[in-house]
């Protein structure tokens, strides 16, 4: 029995030493970092969506530790180029596939999956010194079409969702529109804070749809729809009732396989948990998550 015990102890010692030797050989040397392989997902969207996208990514990664989601923020009109060059798994934008994009997908024999994720609105902001608390939709159209100069309109960039919504809704001429492009949402905010006769247009997702999320020195200006008397705002109830004129749906588009990483992230956004994150952020989720109340009898 003693002999058998000695052999067992020797065997365990040799096995432990072997494992330790292998571990030492594979350990990082010097300043090298130990790299753990992860399943990486790339998501491209307009910069106005960064706040809500970052919230979704944070929760998704916490639930899926081996997965990493990397957001790529770009001008909305250029986002499909990421799919064409196989650089992303999912894109988020405010319009469906164009005819040329559909043709590209058919040529490559891909299966595009498109889902509405949430609805936001184009918010009208101004500095606190701006003389009005609300403007009418007719006033806005008159300024954009050079029929009025009662105030000036500042936008971010001609390739963004902001321009797309304005031109799509009011069919104004891009070459003649009375608006100034500043390059980014942050620069729009800075510009209206400095100028008393300007309004800015930015996606409400940029400040997660809550007025208290606006920067100091900036206020939200109401928009009175044509033919109406009451000002509306890009808040959840107005978006749900479809009374705010400058609302838009945000779609998720991916062309990966059903079990791909992109599809997994899209499924999370559409899940009850993902839609609750969107609801809590002040935006309108594509599906209103149910509210469960447990009743107990005493």
pLDDT digits (tens), the chain, 298 positions: 444 444 444 444 444 444 333 334 444 455 555 444 468 999 999 888 888 999 999 999 999 999 999 999 988 888 999 988 888 999 999 889 999 999 999 998 888 899 999 999 999 999 999 999 999 999 999 998 888 889 999 988 767 777 778 877 886 765 666 788 888 888 999 999 999 999 999 888 887 645 556 788 999 999 999 999 999 999 999 999 999 999 999 999 998 766 788 899 999 999 999 999 999 988 999 998 776 655 566 6
In a domain, 13, yes or no: no
- What is the SS3 string spanning the chain? CHHHHHHHHHHHHHHHHHHHHHHHHHCCCCCCCCCCCCEEEEEEECHHHHHHHHHHHHHHHHHCCCEEEEEEECCHHHCHHHHHCCCCCEEEECCCCCHHHHHHHHHCCCCCEEEEEEEEEEEEEEECCCCCCEEEHHHHHHHHCCCCCCCEEEECCCCCHHHHHHHHHHCCCCCCCCEEECCCHHHHHHHHHHCCCEEEEEEHHHHCCCHHHCCCCEEECEEECCCCCCCECCCHHHHHCCCCCCEEEEEEEECCCCCCHHHHHHHHHHCHHHHHHHHHCCCEECCCCCCCCCCCCC
In a domain, 196, yes or no: yes
In a domain, 12, yes or no: no
- Give the CATH number, domain containing residue 165: 3.40.190.10
Q: Tell whether 75 and 169 lie within a shared domain.
A: no
What pLDDT score was predicted for residue 77? Answer: 82
Degrees to nearest 5, angle at CA 286 with 284 and 287: 105
Q: Tell whether 160 and 244 lie within a shared domain.
A: yes
Assess contact for 219 and 231: CB atoms under 8 A.
no
Q: Tell whether 72 and 182 lie within a shared domain.
A: no
Q: Tell whether 87 and 152 lie within a shared domain.
A: no
Q: Tell whether 160 and 276 lie within a shared domain.
A: no
- Show the domain range for 255: 39-118+249-285
pTM, entire model: 0.78
Degrees to nearest 5, angle at CA 104 with 101 and 106: 110
In a domain, 22, yes or no: no
What pLDDT score was predicted for residue 40? Answer: 92
Decide which of 203, 219, 248 is a domain's last residue. Answer: 248
In a domain, 7, yes or no: no
In a domain, 297, yes or no: no
What pLDDT score was predicted for residue 173? Answer: 66
By CB neighbour count within 10 A (0-12 exposed, 13-18 middle, 19+ buried), where does 50 fall? middle
> How far apart, in whole angstroms, are the C-alpha atoms of residue 24 and residue 14?
15
Q: Tell whether 186 and 217 lie within a shared domain.
A: yes
Comparing C-alpha atoms, which of 202, 240, 242, 238 is closest to residue 218?
Answer: 202
Q: Tell whether 105 and 135 lie within a shared domain.
A: no
Instruction: Please give the tally of structural domains in the chain.
Output: 2
Q: Tell whether 128 and 98 lie within a shared domain.
A: no
Q: Tell whether 264 and 158 lie within a shared domain.
A: no
Q: Tell whether 280 and 240 lie within a shared domain.
A: no
Q: Tell whether 93 and 143 lie within a shared domain.
A: no
Q: Tell whether 170 and 160 lie within a shared domain.
A: yes
> How far apart, in whole angstroms, are the C-alpha atoms of residue 196 and residue 129?
5
In a domain, 86, yes or no: yes
In a domain, 131, yes or no: yes
């Amino acid at each position: 029995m003693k002999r058998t015990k000695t052999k067992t102890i020797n065997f365990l010692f040799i096995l432990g030493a072997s494992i330790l030797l292998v571990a030492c050989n594979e350990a990082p040397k010097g300043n090298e970092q130990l790299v753990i392989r992860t399943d990486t997902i790339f998501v491209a969207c307009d910069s106005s969506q960064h706040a809500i996208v970052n919230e979704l990514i944070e929760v998704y990664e916490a639930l899926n530790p081996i997965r990493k989601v990397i957001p790529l923020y770009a001008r909305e009109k250029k986002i499909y180029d990421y799919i064409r060059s196989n650089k992303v798994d999912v894109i988020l934008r405010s319009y469906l596939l164009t005819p040329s994009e559909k043709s590209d997908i058919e040529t490559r024999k891909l299966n595009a999956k498109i889902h509405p994720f949430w609805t936001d609105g184009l918010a009208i902001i101004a500095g606190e010194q701006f003389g009005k608390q609300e403007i009418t939709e007719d006033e806005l159209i008159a300024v954009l079409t050079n029929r009025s100069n009662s105030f000036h309109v500042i936008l971010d960039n001609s390739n963004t969702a902001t321009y797309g919504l304005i031109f799509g809704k009011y069919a104004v001429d891009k070459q003649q529109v009375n608006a100034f492009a500043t390059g980014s949402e942050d620069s729009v905010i800075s510009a209206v804070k400095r100028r008393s006769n300007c309004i800015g247009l930015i996606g409400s997702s940029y400040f997660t749809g809550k007025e208290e999320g606006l920067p100091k020195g900036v206020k939200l200006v109401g928009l009175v729809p044509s033919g109406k008397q009451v000002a509306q705002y890009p808040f959840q109830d107005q978006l749900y009732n479809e009374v705010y004129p400058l609302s838009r749906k945000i779609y998720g588009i991916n062309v990966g396989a059903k079990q791909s990483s992109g599809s997994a992230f899209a499924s999370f956004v559409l899940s009850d948990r993902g839609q609750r994150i969107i609801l809590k952020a002040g935006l309108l989720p594509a599906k209103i998550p149910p509210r469960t109340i447990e009743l107990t009898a005493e």
